[in-house]
Amino acid sequence: MATDNSAKKAIYGLLGKDIDYSFSRSYFTEKFKREQRTDAVYVNFDLQDLTELHEVLKTQNLSGMNVTIPYKEKVFPFLSTLDPVAEKIGAVNTIALTPQGLKGYNTDAYGFEQSLLPHLHSTRGKALVLGSGGASKAVCYILKQLGFKLDRVSRDREKTGMNYQDLEEKGLGGYQVVVNTTPLGTFPDVETKPSIPYSTISSNCLGFDLIYNPDKTAFLKAFEQAGASIQNGLAMLEFQAEKAWEIWQQHRIS
């Protein structure tokens, strides 16, 4: 488990499993350096089991946490309160430490919305979300809030109402937005991508991949080749990180 030698620094960190490298640690380390925040440090709390969180919470000067897979939903029993948006979504990726205990937030939703909006036209059509994990819940919440008619697909039809075989028969032509929330295509497995009928992509569609490494996944390349617009997950991550920072600072002030 990661620790810091300076007892005076505010400790922020990422809860996850097998997270030797993380966007969050890299992003906040650079942010603190850029803003000359010598009073703060960001570390990874790499937990093989979430029961280890009890020890993490004893960390001196712990000031805020992000949460990644597989704990975005499993962390709920540790929380005293939930932000209304996180409660509606059913997944948490940011935790603030308050006098009343741990409070869960979902800044994935904010990050997705802010990175999606520049691509949208005034009319809202149909959107398709690939995957059924914690991140997909935030994506679905925002798409519904923005007025999209939503379809979801995963390997398990019972979870999402449609599986990949169903999608092969239906095609992608009717969708304005297709979002990949699965890990397929993440480095180093850069040649993999979800099994969907890419030949039916409309040039009026936006292909959105939550993956940021590589910056252009095989999924996005297929959409680009079809003449569609594309967006990777980097901007979403940056937006959600800044929103998390804003939340942590509000609680430190209060």
Q: What is the CA radius of gyration of the chain?
A: 19
Three-class DSSP category at 71: coil
Token readout for 99 is 């006098």
User: Could you tell me which of 147, 216, 219, 125 has the C-alpha nearest to residue 181?
Assistant: 219
Among 9, 72, 103, 193, the one annotated catalytic: 72
Cβ proximity of 233 and 212 under 8 Å: yes
HEC secondary structure over 112-139: HHHHHHHHCCCCCCEEEEECCCHHHHHH
Compute CA distances 188 → 23, 183, 191, 216, 217, whole Å: 15, 11, 9, 13, 11
In the residue annotation, 72 being an active-site residue is answered as yes
Active site residues: 72
